[in-house]
Amino acid sequence: MADDYVVPWKQLDPAHPKWPAPVARYTPDPELAEGKPWCSTEDLTFERSLEGAGGTMYEFVTIQPVGAVSCRLPAEPSVEVTGPDGQALPVPVEVERLDVSGPDGRTWPFDVLVDATHTASLVFSLPSMACDVAPPDAHFRVTWGTRDSLAGGITVPGFGKRPSCQGLGDELPDEPVRVYLLAPTDFEVREERHPVAGLSVRQISFSQESEYGPGTAIVALTAKVDTPLAPCPDAQLSMHHSFDDVTEIPYALNCAAVPFRLADGTPYIPAGTALRFEVAVPQWGEVRPTYSWTLSGPVPVTIDLEPDLVEPRVVDDVEDATFVLEVSNQSFDEPVMPIKVYVDDELLVDNAFHVEGQHTWVSYPMLLSPGYHLVRVESADGAGYQDKLGLEKGKVQYALLEYWNEGARGPELTWRTQDQPFLHD
């Protein structure tokens, strides 16, 4: 399939595709804890540390196994505040579901494995100035099981005397001790969405039949991984006539004309492939609007369409060029050097250049749109160059690219630009 293949435009009603819900992948695997016995008090030990930030005290507890124990803990154990004699204190305890590891405040909703390679974490927090919430000699009693049949528990020393306290009052206030749910230490949550969410979009060109249209835009969808177009995404062309006057034209992509197919016949975009789609732009009035194009999907992507954009390409006649590149091999140590030149990720030069007395320059007249372009150059021996090229409308720019390899300096590429042709001896 040719790299410049374009999926033809077809007016198709929006399909309003239903995308699969994101799937959360937890690490470590929650199934590792399934079937394990509940941890007993004798199975566990713990380490604790105290930290303070933003007027809040935190107590971090890491629960570890004793010996070769392999057991599980519930994500939401029972917690109460006790005095030094073990008697419960009338201190409110609030489960805090804020989580810094998972997206969207996601917590760990499964049992937690504790063994030689997995530990569990529990966090308590308390405002530093809330002196009366828990006395300095208070403890946290953490238990699991049922009220009639406890499976196990640990007793963790509390915050102790807090430096910012100015003394204890006679009554315990309503400020609760907050408990962050039990979770594996350093757990991670990753959401897997339909691969369409990973497509990137860029504009290739924009042409028009007359001053007032209609026109045709070409957009390219690039896939990071093999991306099935099932369901086939919708797209939308938006014509912005003014700030509050926008014409929106939704439609379904012409997936039936996509040339790449999976084994079951599903159209898809192969990983690393930039598949081009034609977009019909309707006729406009005396004032041409601005345009944007949106690809629907789990994560919609919108780009602005630049008018009069042409696809970067090498042309036959220098009179048609807006940019002229000359390339030369200046190294006698490397008499033949393959070099590639990309403009906006389009490969425009792919040739082996011969030194031939250092007086050979190969000319490449190119048609590029006004504005900025990314130029990237690679030689076969690892030399490289990358920079932005700015072109003014109505003016021709010239560039000289030369390859050098002079002993200890190693291979390098030099690049010069000017607004008039280069003169060579």
The verdict on residue 425 lying in a domain is no
Do the Cβ atoms of 354 and 335 come closer than 8 Å?
Answer: yes
pLDDT given at position 128: 61
* Shared domain check, 227 and 172: no
* Shared domain check, 36 and 185: yes
pLDDT given at position 210: 77
Count: domains in the chain? 3
Token pair for 384: 């490289």
Instruction: Supply the DSSP string of 95-153, one letter for each residue.
Output: EE---SSSGGG----S-EEEBTTB-EEEEEEEETT-TTSS-TT-EEEEEEE-SSSEEEE
* Shared domain check, 204 and 225: yes
Rounded-to-integer distance, Cα 31 and Cα 45, Å: 23
* Shared domain check, 319 and 288: no
In terms of residue numbers, what domain contains 271?
6-21+194-305
* Shared domain check, 210 and 185: no
Exposed (0-12), middle (13-18) or buried (19+): which is 113, by Cβ within 10 Å?
buried
Widest Cα–Cα separation across the chain: 99
Q: How does pLDDT run along the chain (425 residues), one tens digit per residue? A: 556 799 999 999 999 999 998 888 999 999 999 999 999 999 999 999 988 765 678 889 999 999 999 999 998 899 998 988 888 888 888 877 645 444 445 578 899 999 999 999 998 887 765 555 566 788 999 999 876 778 899 999 987 765 555 544 444 445 678 888 888 998 888 888 999 999 999 999 988 877 777 889 999 999 999 999 999 999 999 999 887 889 999 999 999 999 999 999 999 999 999 999 999 999 887 778 889 999 999 999 999 988 778 889 999 999 999 999 999 999 988 899 999 999 988 899 999 999 987 678 999 999 998 888 999 999 999 999 999 999 988 899 999 999 998 777 789 999 999 999 998 86
Q: What is the pTM of this model?
A: 0.61
Query: 406: domain CATH number?
Result: 2.60.40
Domain boundary residue, one of 164, 190, 216 = 190
Exposed (0-12), middle (13-18) or buried (19+): which is 381, by Cβ within 10 Å?
middle
* Shared domain check, 250 and 136: no
* Shared domain check, 168 and 36: yes
Half-sphere exposure of 394 (CA within 13 A, CB side): 0
The verdict on residue 161 lying in a domain is yes
Tokens 């937690």 locate to 112
Tokens 């062309």 locate to 237
Tokens 């890491």 locate to 62
Neighbouring CB atoms inside 10 A of 401's CB total 23
* Shared domain check, 374 and 268: no
The verdict on residue 295 lying in a domain is yes
Of 77, 97, 202, the C-alpha closest to 141 is 77
Domain boundary residue, one of 190, 218, 248 = 190
Q: Which residues pair with 216 in a beta bridge?
A: 207, 280
Tokens 């339909």 locate to 194
pLDDT given at position 349: 96
The verdict on residue 411 lying in a domain is yes
Phi then psi for 292, rounded to 5 degrees?
A: -140, 155
Domain boundary residue, one of 268, 286, 305 = 305
* Shared domain check, 372 and 323: yes
The verdict on residue 118 lying in a domain is yes
Do the Cβ atoms of 301 and 200 come closer than 8 Å?
Answer: yes
Rounded-to-integer distance, Cα 73 and Cα 42, Å: 13
Rounded-to-integer distance, Cα 392 and Cα 329, Å: 29
The verdict on residue 91 lying in a domain is yes
The verdict on residue 424 lying in a domain is no
Sign of CA dihedral 9, 11, 12, 16: positive
Task: Mention every residue, 6+ apart, whose C-beta is less than 8 A from residue 422.
Answer: 326, 361, 398, 400, 416
Task: Mention every residue, 6+ apart, whose C-beta is less than 8 A from residue 229.
Answer: 196, 253, 255, 258, 266, 267, 268, 269
* Shared domain check, 32 and 153: yes
Do the Cβ atoms of 77 and 144 come closer than 8 Å?
Answer: yes
* Shared domain check, 169 and 88: yes
pLDDT given at position 242: 83
pLDDT given at position 359: 75
pLDDT given at position 226: 96
* Shared domain check, 172 and 33: yes
Half-sphere exposure of 232 (CA within 13 A, CB side): 14
C-alpha angle 163-165-166 in degrees, rounded to nearest 5: 120
The verdict on residue 165 lying in a domain is yes
